[in-house]
Amino acid sequence: MRKVCIVLMLSIAVPALLFSAGAREAEEVNQLEIFSWWTAGGEAEGLDALFDIYSDLYPEVDVVNATVAGGAGAQAKAVLSTRMQGGNPPDSFQVHAGRGLVDTWVVADMMEPITFIYEEEGWLDAFPEGVIEMVSYEGEIYSVPANIHRSNVLWYNLEIFESNGLSAPQTIDEFFDVAEALADAGVTPLALGDVNTWEATHLLESVMLSVLGPEAYGGLWSGDTPWDGEAAKEALSVFVDMLDYVNTDHAALTWDEAAQYVIDGRAAMTVMGDWAHGYFMAMGQEPGEDYKWIPSPGTQGTFMMLSDTFGLPGGAPHRTNAVNWLKVVGSVDGQDAFNPKKGSIPARTDTDRSRYDMYLQSAMDDFAGDEIVPSVAHGAAASEAWASEVNDVVSIFVSNKNVDNAARSFARVAADHAP
Ligand code: GAL
């Protein structure tokens, strides 16, 4: 039987408080507190599947599901930072592979290396070398990848496309043709929910990739592609043109509310990472029947990736439980229980392909064959500090749509942060 304690703020009578304080003390002896931002449909189910496995193996441990809602960690990252700085880390926390992990936590010496787990569990050959590199620093490994997500996906409502005689747009030009036809038919073409800004950055990174191509897109993060060059400006103006086709209430919606617009037929498409697949499935939608997907326009052959991982903070209060948690996250069983619900592919290469649906099998093939580039909206391409300044620029850009100003601001931010 799984024991998951969800911390709730309730007003209770004093005697009950006294009792619960005593009970809490007893619980604290054997807990596992897992910190993440997985609260939306698909995310929550995936996390629960991992908890189920953990609790079957360690029934004596109380799992504390410490979530802070807000896609891409919009709120969770700040809460985590306060806890870590205050010497109050959870036992393990969700963290993006790449510079999100390394620059934020490892360089600051706040994580314990876990190379020993990889050695004990025989994982050095089970995860792709490139992925292990993303979670390594100076010869040590610092986290366990739970998955690989794809950022550059366009999801669409099949019924709307069929009833309007449209095909999914493969190029930016086709996107504008389709969007125009949908607008003429009275349908909002593109759902966006950028209440937390990163969702607009997410759309922008796909457009940058499409217009610049994978190499020059990569150059934005290595310092080789100027943000205020002609190609980048061209991408910024395509993005502005796209905004003409989004729902007017975009600034009030979250990513999953935007995905819900596609389900409800209030919009035809949305560009979102494949956690949207997890969301659609959690909402009872049939992949291939109710909704379909295509790489976001003009990005075929490139897989913009990110990976959710879990690490071991220095001073984890229940270190042994945390190490066992990491073993579950990295196990074949853990990956095959989590990912089909989360809408992501396993990070391991030796899992059971038959457990994955048609979308995920196609994503596995693309990850194996496509060119791979990192997502900035999800911690892979840039440090958290850089990504958050990118979000600040995007937020102004979405409202004033001034390409020259945005290009200058992005370039200034890049000059401060590029390696
Ligand atoms: C991403 C994360 C995904 C998904 C998404 C929306 O940053 O990597 O797992 O949770 O945010 O919350």
Q: What is the DSSP letter of 258?
A: H
Residue 58 CA to ligand 1 centre (angstroms): 27
Hey, what amino acid is at 418?
A: A
Query: In this structure, are residues 337 and 51 in contact, taking their beta carbons and an 8 Å threshold?
Result: no
Which two three-digit tokens encode residue 119?
């050695």
Residue 343 in contact with ligand 1 by CB distance below 6 A:
no
Residue 222 CA to ligand 1 centre (angstroms): 24
Residue 337 CA to ligand 1 centre (angstroms): 17
Residue 61 CA to ligand 1 centre (angstroms): 27
Query: In this structure, are residues 304 and 375 in contact, taking their beta carbons and an 8 Å threshold?
Result: yes
Question: At 411, phi and psi to the nearest 5?
Answer: -65, -40
CA distance 384 to 37: 16
CA distance 174 to 172: 5
Q: Name the fold adopted by 4-149+308-371.
A: D-Maltodextrin-Binding Protein; domain 2 (3.40.190)
Residue 133 CA to ligand 1 centre (angstroms): 21
Q: What is the DSSP letter of 350?
A: S
Catalogue the E-assigned strands of 37-115: 62-67, 92-96
Residue 72 in contact with ligand 1 by CB distance below 6 A:
yes
Residue 2 pLDDT: 43
CA distance 322 to 340: 23
* Contacts of residue 108, Cβ cutoff 8 Å, sequence gap at least 6: none
Query: In this structure, are residues 336 and 350 in contact, taking their beta carbons and an 8 Å threshold?
Result: no
Query: In this structure, are residues 220 and 212 in contact, taking their beta carbons and an 8 Å threshold?
Result: yes
Ramachandran sector of residue 379 (left: φ over 0; alpha: ψ -120 to 50; beta: rest): left
Residue 308 in contact with ligand 1 by CB distance below 6 A:
yes
Atom of ligand 1 at shortest distance to CA of 308?
A: 8
Atom of ligand 1 at shortest distance to CA of 70?
A: 12
Buried b / exposed e over 245-274, threshold 16 CB at 10 Å, is bbbeebbebbbbbbbbbbbeebbbbbbbbb
Which of 301, 258, 248 lies closest to 280, judged by CA?
258
CA distance 182 to 205: 24
Q: Does domain 153-304+376-417 have CATH number 3.40.190.10?
A: yes
SS3 38: coil
Q: Whose CA is nearest to atom 5 of ligand 1?
A: 72
* Contacts of residue 292, Cβ cutoff 8 Å, sequence gap at least 6: 155, 156, 158, 161, 168
Q: Which residues of the chain have pLDDT under 50?
A: 1-27
Residue 38 in contact with ligand 1 by CB distance below 6 A:
yes
Q: Do domains 4-149+308-371 and 153-304+376-417 have the same CATH topology?
A: yes
Which two three-digit tokens encode residue 261?
């617009």
Q: Is the dihedral of CA 267, 271, 277, 283 positive or negative?
A: negative
Tell me the per-residue pLDDT of 225-239, one tens digit each, with 9 for 90 and over.
999 999 999 999 999
DSSP string covering 224-236: -S-TTSHHHHHHH
Residue 43 in contact with ligand 1 by CB distance below 6 A:
yes
Domain boundaries, given as residue ranges, for the chain:
4-149+308-371, 153-304+376-417
Residue 14 pLDDT: 38
Residue 199 in contact with ligand 1 by CB distance below 6 A:
no
Query: In this structure, are residues 32 and 88 in contact, taking their beta carbons and an 8 Å threshold?
Result: no
CA distance 310 to 327: 10
Residue 29 pLDDT: 75
CA distance 167 to 169: 6
Q: Which of 149, 205, 272 gets mutated to test ligand 1 (max ligand atoms within 8 A of its CB)?
A: 149
